[in-house]
Structure 1
């Protein structure tokens, strides 16, 4: 849906991006799979199609679209969060290629925002500049296998000071981007003061170069068999990794502040792209329904199928409206003041999208499960979002507590 009153600049970008996704990214998806399937070196080289598309996106002016003018000057597109939601939906239609082609893919967008908001000039020069140019990639290292990382106060990775260095020791997993040969820096959450009386001041964030001694990528992990090469979601060991003191972000004990500043907008960006994922699944399904015949009539003529399509349309539109409501409020009051709307979108949108893709798979029959269509990896991507950046259950509990607290405050109970 693009019939919104947006700025002429955003409209031009949206039309340009829609054409780029349809004419360049989606047709290139088979080529990406072919290049990734060349032997056992999926995480050692970058498919040339990615770099080709990045060059084309830059030439079209479709670069760093997520960056707003008020915070980043002329580095990005300078559009609103609401306008970016429309663009991100289009990128979500080719989830493997379009976001990275436009330098708008996770985890880099969130890490760039961390560096832009909280980084020192030296940190920005070393990592933010190359990230903005698309020359390197990055990873965000928070989740750990030994603890319930949905409660970040559980994090066990230790960051201790030793003279003129921080020493990082810990075991992380599901670290997106860590397998990419272009990954040059990890944004690592760990504990600098586990005995601090405030559990939210125990954590800090440090920047760890990927080639630092003691950093070891153990293996890429798969989601329903998909490894998301070349970036991957990896298990990583930090074994007595020494980094200079000036590699800490914002300050000791301020890890939660950095983390929340990063994850709020990032959660909504995931939802923006997920809407495009569902819309693409519906397009594929509608094409099939108008062509396939079963039991003497087109599938599209079957009343049961018509009802399923109607419910899919309502689910996609509901997901889109939740995203748009959160993005529009973020434009008015900032991400911190619209955490309720972001939480509602984060809980509902992945579930709605997952439901739509599952229905689309069902209406494709066995073909929906196979490698010739993108529906199975779409399902894996959508299912991941129910856990990424915090599981549904945690966000739902927090949302419920906030609602009760607000009611008590109004009622003076």
Structure 2
């Protein structure tokens, strides 16, 4: 990252942090925050404030250019200081990842029709890839995709069921993934559409994403050929274009949330008296806060390292897997320690710490559970060893 962008990103990040701490945090107790995320009315109110403050969609500049991943990290981390922060400034999943993908793959017409309203924060979107496990559908293994599509003249017809579709309830833009004879395909669709029906909203432990997570039925959805995103059969490649930086963006946002939880737990430990002295002076408590500081810094360094890899032009699949594992596990330790330090208060709704714990626990699964990323990395370790062993054998022949 060059000095000019570094300075610009730092200024944007400072404005985002001030806005989240001063304007967004007071909304955390708003009645419009429900079990399936903030209501659309609350989202509109928050985004109006963000627009007025000049911090709406801050990672995309006025000319449409996207900040580098390193600069994006500087901006997204303070957005996460409140679970409502990424929603307010329009950097929350799945919209942030969908904007990135459309910006990379979409045609000019698609960008004007589907991307611009997202960047302006006027609409929300959903990414329709995951499918019900009970039906053998795609989850961590997208090659198991059961949703099918076929050509019908100049259009495509899509049929299938999707699961854990974040933000489908209330979304105006959808990216639907399905399999054709040519391979996986992606389509941009206008929502709502009678052919895309929400069967039910899932009750999950997290509650920060507008629209919650839905089971969705797709029956004979007709999509004009001009709304295919990219080329037929290239859907899995495009998924990686989206998922690698999206995993890292999750790390950025939830890093901010855990920083806030740590601040709250620290204030509690420094003011709460027990056995004749502040909690922080008891080694069992003070050491937990010290470990938080270590995990926060290590997670931040991992985020920056992976951002640099992506900025170098590499797809960064392995690096984003490493970051997802290391950061999500570190943040889970931090959130857990914050709850433990605060005792009964930590498991109550009196502070945001309890919600941060729930959100980060879900993060260990979303965008690929830890075990899947480790498995993928282990395969790479084996492959690299075999290639190196083969080269060594050739060299000694």
TM-score by length of 1: 0.87
**Structure 2 gap ranges (5+):** 393-397
1:232 aligns with 2:212: yes
Contact 2:158–2:219, Cα closer than 8 Å, also in 1 = yes
Counterparts of 1:213 and 1:234, CA distance in 2: 16
Q: 1:339 to 1:277 in 2, by over 3 A?
A: same
1:124 aligns with 2:111: yes
Contact 1:264–1:335, Cα closer than 8 Å, also in 2 = no
Q: 1:229 to 1:251 in 2, by over 3 A?
A: closer
SS where residue 220 of structure 1 aligns? strand
Alignment RMSD (CA, Å): 2.2
Contact 1:220–1:227, Cα closer than 8 Å, also in 2 = no
Note the 1:163-182 alignment, pairs <5 A: 163-179=153-169, 181=170
Counterparts of 1:272 and 1:329, CA distance in 2: 15
Could you tell me which residue of structure 1 aligns to residue 364 of structure 2? 386
SS where residue 105 of structure 1 aligns? coil
Higher relative contact order (CA 8 A, sep 6+): 2
1:187 aligns with 2:180: no
Could you tell me which residue of structure 1 aligns to residue 70 of structure 2? 82
Counterparts of 2:22 and 2:178, CA distance in 1: 44
SS where residue 151 of structure 2 aligns? strand
Q: 1:228 to 1:306 in 2, by over 3 A?
A: closer
Note the 1:269-288 alignment, pairs <5 A: 269-288=249-268
Note the 1:135-284 alignment, pairs <5 A: 135-145=122-132, 146-147=135-136, 148-179=138-169, 181=170, 183-193=171-181, 202-224=183-205, 226-228=206-208, 230-284=210-264
Note the 1:49-88 alignment, pairs <5 A: 50-67=43-60, 74-76=63-65, 79-88=67-76
Counterparts of 2:292 and 2:39, CA distance in 1: 38
2:313 to 297, 322, 334: 334
**Structure 1 gap ranges (5+):** 194-200
SS where residue 7 of structure 1 aligns? helix
1:320 aligns with 2:287: no
Counterparts of 1:207 and 1:6, CA distance in 2: 32
Contact 1:36–1:229, Cα closer than 8 Å, also in 2 = no
Q: CA deviation at 1:65?
A: 2.5
SS where residue 40 of structure 2 aligns? coil
Q: 1:126 to 1:289 in 2, by over 3 A?
A: same
SS where residue 122 of structure 2 aligns? coil
Aligned residues: 386
Could you tell me which residue of structure 2 aligns to residue 197 of structure 1? none
After superposing on structure 2, the runs of 4+ consecutive aligned residues of structure 1 that deviate more than 4 Å are: 42-45, 226-229
SS where residue 219 of structure 2 aligns? strand
1:21 aligns with 2:20: yes
Q: 1:11 to 1:347 in 2, by over 3 A?
A: same
TM-score by length of 2: 0.91
Could you tell me which residue of structure 2 aligns to residue 198 of structure 1? none
